Chain A
């Protein structure tokens, strides 16, 4: 059951220990912008989790078969075209352009699909869906997956890529919902005038980041617990 433990560890690491927002600072813009009400914050979190999983699925597929060094498809084309068989074909220089294209188009497709088949859901997500294109959390997840597909010795499978993406999305949802809860209560507090708005939100985020630092080292305990459970 090695794989299962590995997957759970990747998930917990992305969601709590190295939380996307509070450790890597990706997705700070919606974290500050869309965290006034718990309901909308949670909706935004779900939308991001959804899009991040689709983008991870697409970018893993593209990276594995086309973009990584020594990927099967360009190697085959290279061999058919009669290139020197000793060269490793590496298209990773194109990856940023491909990823941003994948993200932009998957956001567009998700928006069209949700609008057609789930009108009620579309109404509640509505405004936030197009905004997700410029959410750095999604590009960050793609880049992390790409990092793990560079080393041919231990390539990540699709399940590991998805565990990272869903973990990151869940971590984002946790962080933004907690933040919205605190901000709802802060509306009735007497905040010093210059700090109102973004200033106090950033300070709260700093204290939350300190709290999340407490998760450092949790992975060892989880590993022990899982190995004794699955034995």
Chain B
């Protein structure tokens, strides 16, 4: 391991909040917007992405000595495509209804910039232990972001959470929240909130000094 690169523990913690893939790096927006109209599809998506990300990280890290600079992006995408095919077949075999509902968004994991950027930044430079920690941390961060958006959209849009009714009977479902515009609006407002909290904390830290 080269000096100056973060250790396994740092990589793990970074992925969850300080470098959260969605709120901090704005990566992988396509699934974040498309599958968060309910908790169940969002969590299935998070699981599939985690599967691909961790395995691709391990694979790339194992062959990092063999990578040629000009071919590395192609090797990354082909590795990811292989694992996505496996994940897609597994979903179709064991969770057929869910795989139909997610439709083209499972194969679209291949072009999720999150996975390519983790292969490039971490796995192609560090050993397997760090790569696994990085994959798990980033996956948890991604799942957390998907869960937060899906919670808002499902509760406001259909009055349920993970399919269980949570809102009182008189609650009028906000149909717009489960439709495409609701995805953009929710993510925009949540991004604003995260940024607001960060700015407030930075201000506080500045005052203390």
Residues in A lying within 8 Å of B, measured CB to CB: 22-29, 32, 93-94, 96-97, 100-101, 104, 133-136, 139-140, 143-144, 147, 192-195, 198-203, 205-207, 209-210, 213
Contact = CB atoms under 8 A, between A and B. Distances in A.
26 contacts: A25-B29, A25-B33, A28-B29, A100-B81, A100-B110, A133-B73, A134-B111, A135-B111, A136-B108, A139-B108, A143-B108, A194-B192, A194-B193, A194-B196, A194-B199, A195-B192, A198-B26, A198-B188, A198-B191, A199-B189, A199-B192, A202-B184, A202-B187, A206-B182, A209-B180, A210-B181
B29 A32 contact: yes
B184 A205 contact: yes
A32 B188 contact: no
B63 interface: no
Interface in B88-112: 88-89, 104, 107-108, 110-112
Given A25-B29, A28-B29, A32-B29, A203 B110 contact: no
A199 B188 CA distance: 4
Interface size bracket, B side: 35 or more
A104 B113 contact: no
B119 to A, nearest CB: 12
B184 to A, nearest CB: 3
Classify the secondary structure of A's interface with B. helix
Q: Is the interface of B mostly helix, strand, loop or mixed?
A: helix
Interface string B107-131: 1101111001000000000000000
Nearest to B186: A206
Given A104-B77, A192-B192, 16 more contacts: A25-B30, A28-B29, A28-B33, A94-B85, A104-B73, A133-B77, A134-B116, A136-B112, A140-B104, A143-B104, A144-B104, A195-B188, A195-B192, A199-B195, A206-B185, A207-B181
**Residue among B112, B176, B188 with the highest chain A CB neighbour number at 10 A:** B188
Given A139-B108, A139-B110, A140-B108, A93 B89 contact: yes
A209 B104 CA distance: 20
A22 B180 contact: yes
Contacts of A199: 188-189, 191-192, 195
Contacts of B26: 32, 198
Contacts of A147: 104
B183 A25 contact: yes
A221 B70 CA distance: 51
Contacts of A133: 73, 77, 111
Interface in B161-201: 176, 179-185, 187-189, 191-193, 195-196, 199
Contacts of B33: 25, 28
